[in-house]
Homo-oligomer: A and B are copies of this chain.
Amino acid sequence: MEYTKINEDLLEQIRKAVGSQNVFTDKDALDTYCHDETEDLKYHPEVVVKPVDAASISALLRLCNAFHVPVTPRGGGTGLSGAALPIYGGVLLSMEKFKAIIDIDTENLQATVEPGVITEAFINAVAEKGLLYPVDPSSKGSCFIGGNVAHGSGGPRVVKYGTIREYILNLEVVLPTGEIIWTGANTVKYASGYNLTQLMIGSEGTLGVVTKIVTKLIPKSHHTVLMLASFTENEKACAAVSAIFRAGIIPSALEFMERKGVEWVIKFDDIKFDLKDDVNAFLLIEFDGDDMDTIFKDCEKANLVLEEFDCIDVLFADTAQQKEDLWRMRRTMAESVKSNSVYKEEDTVVPRAALPTLINGIKEIGTRYGFESVCYGHAGDGNLHINIIKAGMSDDDWKNKLKDGIVEIFELTTALGGTISGEHGIGLVQKEFMPIKYSEINLNLMRGIKSVFDPNRILNPGKIF
């Protein structure tokens, strides 16, 4: 695609649009914003802007639309699919100055928040008022709520509380052509034309720049119980997942971890954990509620189910510290794997009873292609993150043959009724795999929608399709 390079003239106009104090062209800035958390990919922008309000973004986008300059919006830079990489150079639009929690409305159980707020800061702010915003991806300590909206991000509590789609009521959005709109209404129900709010969620910054977010909140439970169940086999642990739901129990989190993931976390993060020899897989299961008796009843029911799947033992986290340690183990798993090896991460999702078939298939494909893998993830949602490890694969095979293995993984995912990303998005690195799941007709509908919002394709071009 041909875009206009930013010359001194254009740069001056960009400074006028967003304020010169918010425009950066120094090497440090360009280096800092040339990558996110996706493998080792680097694409340098020509300029980094950090606007402070929607009006500036509107002026910026009008300008870039007129001159055909690409603009790549960026949240916390924690993305795993490369959606925030400025692959055509141009303007890197960092939302980091949109930091206000504008309102926590305890009457309506809603909040209005800017997209640059760190997810965990928002979760903590509403928790102080006894409320829950249950969308907490592993990167919650550094990702932005705006990035979560852009990616349809999840986290462990989706399994009970639903996805981010349920918690985003309304969005202020600057369109690529510069107009500022609200997408919907501040209501939990909405049947007033095409749902532009839902269309924006998961559109990865390709349809507009979100500048305000209205979220739903719910009352926060007073108690949680966290248990770690260990199994001899991946397959048994995965099979237990759907059985728990079939028993009529809905945990507030149900995470799967493979042994190797735990090994690497112990090495990386200095977590004290007694990893027994016969254990090969774990389920981390949380129940929450206001009534301990009810929670314990659910735990007992879950225990009975786990026994049917040859669960070796169940460890209950007794203290807040133990809970935090177990959660940290799960949350730092991606980072631990990265620190240990060249890797590629995939984000498969299938109907949850298909998990045993999926994980066995992944291992079988790995054996054929010569890669190892560390699997973990939100098993209760059928969402399995696969960290593919180079292991004994030659550099040449890693570069040239691995892709065929990934294609096989996604073909399997698709055959099981699943899709190629549950919460990380498509961005740059998964777009070549979209045709495995989606017909050209589907992709053309998406391209058509893109053209309606962004006729000149200036906003985050080259992503998704």
Residues of A within 8 A of B (CB): 105-110, 130, 151-154, 158, 162-163, 165-166, 175, 179, 181-196, 198-199, 201-203, 207, 218-220, 242, 245-246, 248-250, 289-291, 293-294, 297, 347, 349-354, 378, 381-383, 414, 417-426, 430, 434, 437-439, 441-443, 445-446, 448-449, 451-453, 464-465
User: CB-CB < 8 A to A242: which residues of B?
Assistant: 107-109
Beyond A130-B248, A187-B419, A189-B383, 4 additional pairs, beta carbon < 8 A: A181-B442, A194-B207, A194-B449, A294-B294
Tell me the smallest distance from the CB of A431 to a CB of chain B, in Å.
Answer: 9
Provide the bound-state CA to CA distance between A434 and B434, in Å.
36
A418–B187 contact, CB under 8 A? yes
Q: Which partner residue on chain B sits nearest A188 by CB separation?
A: B381
B195–A419 contact, CB under 8 A? no
Contacts A185-B349, A452-B452 given; indicate if A201 touches B193 (C-beta within 8 A).
Answer: no
A-B contact pairs, 6 of them (CB 8 A): A105-B353, A190-B419, A194-B203, A195-B199, A219-B245, A448-B452
For the complex of A and B, 9 pairs with smallest distance between CB atoms: A448-B452, A185-B419, A186-B417, A107-B353, A219-B248, A198-B198, A189-B422, A108-B351, A152-B191
Select one of B163, B181, B182, B201 contacting A189, CB under 8 A. Answer: B163
Tell me the smallest distance from the CB of A232 to a CB of chain B, in Å.
Answer: 22
A219–B441 contact, CB under 8 A? no
A187–B246 contact, CB under 8 A? no
Q: Which partner residue on chain B sits nearest A242 by CB separation?
A: B107
Tell me the smallest distance from the CB of A465 to a CB of chain B, in Å.
Answer: 7
B163–A193 contact, CB under 8 A? no
Provide the bound-state CA to CA distance between A420 and B193, in Å.
10
Provide the bound-state CA to CA distance between A163 and B198, in Å.
13
Provide the bound-state CA to CA distance between A132 and B201, in Å.
27
Tell me the smallest distance from the CB of A329 to a CB of chain B, in Å.
Answer: 22
Task: Name which of A175, A347, A417, A439 has the most chain B CB atoms within 10 A of its CB.
Answer: A417
A354–B108 contact, CB under 8 A? yes
A250–B185 contact, CB under 8 A? no
User: CB-CB < 8 A to A441: which residues of B?
Assistant: 175, 179, 181
Q: Which partner residue on chain B sits nearest A107 by CB separation?
A: B353
B465–A193 contact, CB under 8 A? yes
Select one of B187, B289, B438 contacting A351, CB under 8 A. Answer: B187
Q: Which partner residue on chain B sits nearest A109 by CB separation?
A: B245
Provide the bound-state CA to CA distance between A92 and B198, in Å.
29
Tell me the smallest distance from the CB of A194 to a CB of chain B, in Å.
Answer: 5
Select one of B162, B350, B352, B421 contacting A192, CB under 8 A. Answer: B421
Contacts A441-B175, A448-B452 given; indicate if A151 touches B191 (C-beta within 8 A).
Answer: yes
Select one of B195, B249, B446 contacting A152, CB under 8 A. Answer: B195
User: CB-CB < 8 A to A198: which residues of B?
Assistant: 165, 195, 198-199, 201
Select one of B181, B194, B350, B448 contacting A187, CB under 8 A. Answer: B350
A426–B219 contact, CB under 8 A? no
B464–A193 contact, CB under 8 A? yes
User: CB-CB < 8 A to A162: which residues of B?
Assistant: 162, 166
Q: Which partner residue on chain B sits nearest A420 by CB separation?
A: B192
Q: Which partner residue on chain B sits nearest A465 by CB separation?
A: B193
